Amino acid sequence: MALDTLETHLLDALRALPRGSDAAAPEAEELWRAQVRSRLCDFAARELQSTGRSFYTIASAGHESNAAVALALRPTDPALLHYRSGGFYLARAAQAGRDGVPDILHGVTAATVEPIAGGRHKVFGNHELAVIPQTSTIASHLPRAVGVAFAIERARKLDVQSPWPRDAVVVCTFGDASVNHATAQAGLNSAAHLAHQGLTLPLLYVCEDNGIGISVRSPQGWVESALRARPALRYELAPGDDPELVLEVAQELADWTRATRRPAVLHLRTVRFLSHAGADVEAAYRAPHEIRADWDADPLLATGRWLAACGRSGEELADDYLAERERVRATALAAASLPQLATAAEVVRPLAPRTAGAPAPPEAGEPTTLALAVNAALAAELERDPRMLLFGEDVAAKGGVYGVTRGLQRRFGAGRVFDTLLDETSILGLALGAAVSGFVPVPEIQYLAYLHNAEDQLRGEAATLQFFSQGRYRNGMVVRVAGLGYQKGFGGHFHNDNAVGVLRDVPGLVLASPGRPDDAAAMLRTCLEAARVDGAVCVYLEPIALYHTRDLHEEGDGGWLAPAAGDAPLGVGRTYGDGTDLTLVSWANGLRMSLRVARELAARGIGARVLDLRWLAPLPVEDLLREARATGRVLVVDETRRTGGVSEGVVTALVDAGYDGRIARVASKDSFIPLGDAASLVLLSEEEILEAALGLCGQPA
């Protein structure tokens, strides 16, 4: 493969370097090795891509000064890396005695032997190097980085075993355009917010500023202003073409962060070579002279200059580059013929292991409400598992908007039960970080409507981690979310959100939604066990309207109270009654309405049974089929919206499984939920259920 013009420029410049007589600098040698190899991986990926043998060409070229950041840290410090942090990765690998070149090349060729994603994505990640793989969603890893740093400190305080050394520093790299992303702002803000309160947070953010995001330039001075202005976040700037200075500044910041346990941000100026990615034609938006001008700021040339000053000849450095080039190319060619994932089963294997059983039920106590059942189950689990943390908006002193977490902070202390800042992205980021750091986090999202602005932390981060790391990193958690409709006291859309479609299509995600107090406790325990044993990411959706409900049919009948008893295995429903005329399939508020309608039907001589799905993902398909076939008539009672709601999945599951009886569904309207009595106009009602049930059974309403 012919040399690229960037390479010829570098080689010519290296050969022309004057030889000095400074003392040998071993760090310069280490830096050079990592930087050269990173650059050559970029060229090798492009060469392979031109013949269809590589699938990823976002280069680290021009950013290789980030290798100095690795050298300033320890290979046991958790790292969350930008897609241009190849120099960092190789420097860290070398620190640990590993050649990281094959890792990178196996990544770009999607080879199954790649050490972290195993052919599922090109990421920088390695469990042995404490590099937690990141997705390509800009800035999505910044909140998790805060969580990891927080968890290092909290583990020490609570004496919880952590995978990270007690004096570890978290490093998190990202691009300049990424700084503007809401998720980056969440990370930067929550880091500063914690530090401002005097909480320790050993976190080193590194902004790799090449001045551009794909084709859009960052405004002159903006990144510096935006980062420098952060309260409680120490800021330092370093030019990427001065390796001695980068090392010095990075070392100073890393040591300071390690010693003071305070967060800092290193603003690392870089250049971007080889365009944004392989398919990007840079000439369309950058003038040729501009592109060439950056060549003089080549971090490889800068390190070469340092080495030459220490007595290496430029000729020797150029030859070294060419020798490395052959070696990396040979590794690349070998990587291109390695097997890729061959079956869908192989692809999904790490997605969602399901080995955890349902934990043993506690001794039955007094019948309680759903809110009290959740409260008691949380208390019992906090008691049993010192790794469990509970946090969110207003969960501590107030005990939650509905009192569900009342008394838990008093009982278990502010170290384990605490209020967070008002930002759902940061709350989930804290959980993401704590979960990879030895904790079992139980974050609360105050209302379902407010999960949506932070959803990527669940979808893009939490749910993908096992997939992209073959289970080597896991972030088991149980996200408690208060939601669904029918809430009368404090109504309106934002307190009555029934949009769950967005959770049901996240691969591997568990979506639990209890209706009754006994199930609530049992399902919570099952979720926690799945989080602990299988690293499951669980959303536990609590129906607000049922929190304090006591009765089922008549006032004072206490039919909705139940003691904590029994178990609730993952993906298993619960059947009420044994009627043979009709099966009502529902959950949560719909369960209660269905049970009431079933009684009304019984009075009219129709025998109905009611299946409580309990789990909206994975759906209890076996139970569904059994109960459907038992009557041959299914009415799906769906309190979520008609479009994108749960009943679409239920009906499809029945059809897919070959159920050939009758099916009908009733659901809420495709509308947001209005305030006051008007809410009942769009929410599914018992009258509609009854009417549909009678219709299905051929009886007049």
Ligand X SMILES: Cc1ncc(C[n+]2csc(CCOP(=O)(O)OP(=O)(O)O)c2C)c(N)n1
Q: Which helix (H) or strand (E) holds 172?
A: strand 170-175
Helix, strand, coil percentages in the chain from 3-state DSSP, rounded to 5: 45, 15, 40
Whichever of 88 and 486 has its CB closer to Mg ion, that residue is 88
Least distance between ligand X and beta carbon 639 (Å): 32
Whichever of 176 and 627 has its CB closer to Mg ion, that residue is 176
**Number of residues in the chain:** 701
Stretch that binds Mg ion, among 168-176, 517-525, 579-587, 640-648 (CB under 5 A): 168-176
Interior angle at CA 486, CA 481 and CA 487, nearest 5: 65
The one of Mg ion, ligand X, none whose footprint includes residue 263, by CB under 5 to 8 A per kind, is none
Residues interacting with ligand X, by CB under 6 A?
84, 136-138, 175-178, 208, 210, 212-214, 272, 276
Q: Where are the alpha helices (DSSP H) in 96-167?
A: 101-108, 142-158
The one of ligand X, Mg ion, none whose footprint includes residue 214, by CB under 5 to 8 A per kind, is ligand X
Instruction: Give CA–CA dist 448/542, Å, rounded.
Output: 9
Q: Where are the alpha helices (DSSP H) in 463-516?
A: 465-469, 501-504
Query: Is there binding between residue 175 and Mg ion (CB under 5 A)?
Result: yes
Q: Which amino acid is residue 202, in one-letter code?
A: P
Query: Is there binding between residue 103 and Mg ion (CB under 5 A)?
Result: no
Place of tokens 């999904």: 348
Whichever of 272 and 387 has its CB closer to ligand X, that residue is 272
Q: Where are the alpha helices (DSSP H) in 310-456?
A: 314-336, 344-348, 370-384, 408-412, 424-435, 456
- Segment 291-350, which members bind Mg ion (CB under 5 A)? none
Omega before residue 350 within 30° of 0, cis: no
Q: Which of 7, 47, 176, 282 binds Mg ion (CB under 5 A)?
A: 176
* Residue of minimal Cβ distance to Mg ion: 175
The one of ligand X, Mg ion, none whose footprint includes residue 136, by CB under 5 to 8 A per kind, is ligand X
* Residue of minimal Cβ distance to ligand X: 175
Burial of 346: CB neighbours in 10 Å, binned 0-12, 13-18, 19+? middle
Least distance between Mg ion and beta carbon 43 (Å): 20
Whichever of 25 and 191 has its CB closer to ligand X, that residue is 191
Whichever of 461 and 638 has its CB closer to ligand X, that residue is 461
Of the candidates 121, 85, 82, the residue with the CA atom closest to the CA atom of residue 100: 85
Instruction: Give CA–CA dist 304/311, Å, rounded.
Output: 11
Instruction: Give CA–CA dist 664/277, Å, rounded.
Output: 50
What pairing do the DSSP bridges indicate for beta strands 582-586 and 608-612?
Answer: parallel
* Contact characters 509-548, Mg ion, x per CB under 5 A: ----------------------------------------
Whichever of 280 and 315 has its CB closer to ligand X, that residue is 280
Least distance between ligand X and beta carbon 473 (Å): 21
Q: Which of 38, 60, 210, 589 binds Mg ion (CB under 5 A)?
A: 210
The one of Mg ion, ligand X, none whose footprint includes residue 426, by CB under 5 to 8 A per kind, is none
Query: Is there binding between residue 282 and Mg ion (CB under 5 A)?
Result: no
Of the candidates 565, 525, 539, the residue with the CA atom closest to the CA atom of residue 385: 525
The one of ligand X, Mg ion, none whose footprint includes residue 39, by CB under 5 to 8 A per kind, is none
Among candidate residues 196, 495, 548, 553, the one labeled active-site is 495
Helix axes 299-309, 243-260, angle to 10 degrees: 100
Is 495 one of the catalytic residues? yes
Whichever of 173 and 526 has its CB closer to ligand X, that residue is 173
Site for Mg ion, rule CB under 5 A: 175-177, 210, 212-213
Question: Catalytic amino acids?
Answer: 495
